[in-house]
Structure 1
């Protein structure tokens, strides 16, 4: 251990309900690893918290020993900010209790839960909280950055359904934040990331969804990209809030539902979910499915729970991941030309782009109501340069950078959860000047020493 001796770790372990692991302990290798296989870091101490008391003890331990503190829930941070070298890793995964009150339509979830665990419990009652599209993502990190997903156009971002959150602050104290209690902190937690403390518990409003939805994807050859993108642009103009789409470019994956002759071919797909009546959704989706000459159509009535896991095989644990992201307002012909050109350059079976449609309920919340910014944007680009192993990873990272650079004339912002370690100016850009300054003042109030700095950091004012 580089920063703290064994006696100190032993003292923490003696008061801990969960596990305290150091490099010599069994289980350390398993629990130091994160989802992004390109990240290989070795914390000095891993505190696997089983209770709020454990989190408080861990925060105080890290602060008192002046350790870099990383906080991990699901561990899906693209740049690996949910782990560290030589510091303290506060692992929240053991805190994974989910409680659903179907009558009140309220969800209480601890910080270690994954989206799949939430969906499994809420869908028993035909309810859902707006969340992401990969089921092994952690709910906590997704929420604190904003939270985009399949039903956001109908019900808003994940933070728009957040009723309260309970962070452990840098002093080791527990605070409740909601609209009528510590309201400024509640504002900052909704988009400001992990800058203000370790949130241990979340309470959400639930919404009626499923259990069956009309959802899936239609695929075309990448040769048809321009035609598909223009048709998609026209089709979603003034569409109902129930419709959410993601345009995907990639090499057709080797999955049971993909014909063998299509595997490895460059394709463009329009994936969608209709958060409403299945028959109505079938009617709304049909015009897009009829465009040109699709090579595969996977739209069908299906459990919402299954649709939430559709992208899981494309984002497996242990592969190498790199992302560049930006928002754009409109899919102009010039933007479409860039998308078509760079999509045809994909060479890795795991590289892809996801072009998220925004608008709807997301855009009807005032920009200053939460720390999340970019509500008026039309689309978010998520450009993934990924590989199954380290082989070829640098080439795919460069492809993602080049794609992003080609879109530079059209950038209007960036979603903070899709940032790599890109520097303070990009963090500031993701919030805009007014929100950034407000967040700095909040940081000064709750974490003036910047204890929680291993994140998309907002330094104290």
Structure 2
């Protein structure tokens, strides 16, 4: 065939000549009959099975401009793939055009100014590897295969958030191709409304071709690791955990993971496959001070294993990668919490006893610290006073278990909502929950909609956690 059929934004379809496509776009063009097509459409979440009509693997800003202009001119669906890690599969559009950033992964560190310029195809591992050789870092997430672009545009939190703030709090500037095809540099002084909007407002406002971050002195060695407890002691562990972290310095972040124990080498074999409570911690600072800061947490209960010690930060950033490998089926439901009250812990205890698969887990991210020092309206991320973000993470291998696993997550989420703060993290919204977008932004939502109306009234950038103008 000499044409490719695309879905349009108005719900109709259009057939475009391959010759016109090739003459209009720059970069590597991947069509459905290409050997690279299936690899291009593979995402972290194996539950997502979308079939775009075309990928354009761009290598520079002008290729992005051409792709945006092409999509706008023909009114076709447009998606942006950076890391492909989004839980809802927003990196792809069925029948649409995908701008693929796999070839744009540069990370350029300015050691003297303590800044870094990052291309949108880079992963957290790419960023950490480049910055940690200078003892510098950007506060990012916890899974090193995550793309920096999607993480940043949604806000971004991880092991160093309590010390250095959210990822967006370190963003200095960005280059952005907007719906008209213009390439803009946005920062606090230029196009300040757009700069405000992209710090948490997802990819609703354009295609970022470069991020510039402030860097922070930390590493290359940190104190990090896990303390593993039997799940039958969960109520005692979480009670003492909350008391301990209330006194924790900002350098320390300690997350809770509840699941069936994987066959980790440091766990006795008799615990493999049994329910456990994991206290996963990272202290960013002097190792001796970290030993003192983590002492109270490590004295809790009678742990099965304690493997906390000095290690390279880049290794800790990748520590959970084997449990989060690409290709499994995943579904998330999340809540922001002020505290872990008795009722919450009781519901969790019941839920862990009925895990629908061995890979399902509940994790509780320890927040606070530096992120609370930024005003709620300074960025779209409104709820900076949450002490915890809880993610009910179902993960499984076979499609026949889809309903079972999703229902388990939804039922637990429904029971816990009454104890939450009513806000959620936009990057954790799963497929089909787009009506939850407003909950992520609260009173900042109206301003986001206004900026969206100004810069993208036709909603060209809609394959995301969409803010409808």
Structure 1-normalised TM-score?
0.97
Q: Deviations over 1:61-93 (max 9, x none)?
A: 112222111111000110111112111111112
> 1: distance between equivalents of 2:218 and 2:436?
36
Distance 2:18 2:244 in 1: 59
The alignment status of 1:382 with 2:391, answered yes or no, reads yes
Q: Which residue of 2 aligns with 1:101?
A: 110
On the 8 A contact 1:386/1:393 being kept in 2, the answer is no
Counterpart of 1:290 (choices 278, 296, 299) is: 299
Q: 2:185 and 2:449 mapped to 1: Cα distance?
A: 20
Alpha carbons 1:99, 1:108 under 8 Å: kept: yes
Deviation at 1:426, TM superposition (A): 1.2
How far apart, in 2, do the equivalents of 1:304 and 1:181 lie?
34
Label 1:78 to 1:424 Cα distance change in 2 as closer, same or farther (>3 A): closer
* CA displacement at 1:15 relative to structure 2: 5.4
Q: Aligned-pair RMSD on alpha carbons?
A: 1.5
In 2, are the aligned partners of 1:38 and 1:321 still within 8 Å (CA)? yes
Q: How does 1:38-49 map to 2 (within 5 A)?
A: 38-49=47-58
Deviations 1:358-401 (A, max 9, x none): 11001110001001121011110111111133342322211111
Contact 1:230-1:336 at 8 Å conserved across structures: no
Corresponding residue of 1:159: 168
The aligned residue for residue 9 of structure 2 is none
The Cα shift of 1:439 comes to 0.4
1:17-416 pair list within 5 angstroms: 17-412=26-421, 413-416=423-426
What residue in structure 2 maps to residue 427 of structure 1?
A: 437
Contact 1:266 1:346 in 2 (8 A): no
| Separation (CA, whole Å) in 2 of partners of 1:310 and 1:10 | 47
Inter-partner Cα distance in structure 1 for 2:447 and 2:418: 28
Q: Does 1:2 align with 2:5?
A: yes
Structure 1's consecutive aligned runs of 4 or more residues displaced over 4 angstroms after TM superposition are 4-7
**Following TM superposition, by how much is the alpha carbon of 1:454 offset from its aligned partner in structure 2, in angstroms?**
1.0
Structure 2 Cα separation of the partners of residues 278 and 209 of structure 1: 11
Q: Deviations over 1:146-203 (max 9, x none)?
A: 0001000000000000000111111111011101111111111101000000111000
Pick aligned residue for 1:418 from 419, 428, 436: 428
Deviation per CA, 1:254-277, whole angstroms, max 9, x where unpaired? 233333222111111110100111
Structure-2-length-normalised TM-score: 0.95
3-state SS, counterpart of residue 2 of structure 1: strand
> Counterparts of 2:296 and 2:433 in 1: how far apart (Å)?
43
**For each residue in 1:414-446, what CA deviation from the matched residue of structure 2 results, as whole angstroms up to 9, or x when unmatched?**
0101011344541111111x3111001100111
Q: Please name the residue that 2:20 is paired with.
A: 11
Question: Following TM superposition, by how much is the alpha carbon of 1:349 offset from its aligned partner in structure 2, in angstroms?
Answer: 2.1
Structure 1, 167-176 or 62-71: larger mean CA deviation: 62-71
Q: Secondary structure at the match of 1:125?
A: coil
Instruction: Please give the alpha-carbon distance, in whole angstroms, between the structure 2 residues aligned to 1:224 and 1:2.
Output: 58
Q: Aligned residues, how many?
A: 459
Q: Which runs of 5+ in 1 are unaligned?
A: none
**Structure 2 CA distance for aligned equivalents of residues 290 and 78 of structure 1:** 36
Per-residue Cα deviation, 1:295-339 (whole angstroms, up to 9, x for no partner) = 121211111000001110111111100000011111222222222
> Offset of 1:103 from its aligned partner?
1.4
SS of alignment partner, residue 272 of structure 1: strand
Q: What secondary structure is seen at the aligned counterpart in 1 of 2:235?
A: helix
Q: For the residues of structure 2 that align with 1:275 and 1:347, how far apart are their CA atoms? A: 35
- Kept in 2, the 8 Å contact 1:213–1:303? The answer is yes
Q: Cα 1:429–1:277, aligned 2, differ >3 Å: closer, same or farther?
A: same
Q: Give, in whole Å, the separation in 1 of the partners of 2:91 and 2:211.
A: 19
1:9–1:20 Cα contact (<8 Å) kept: no
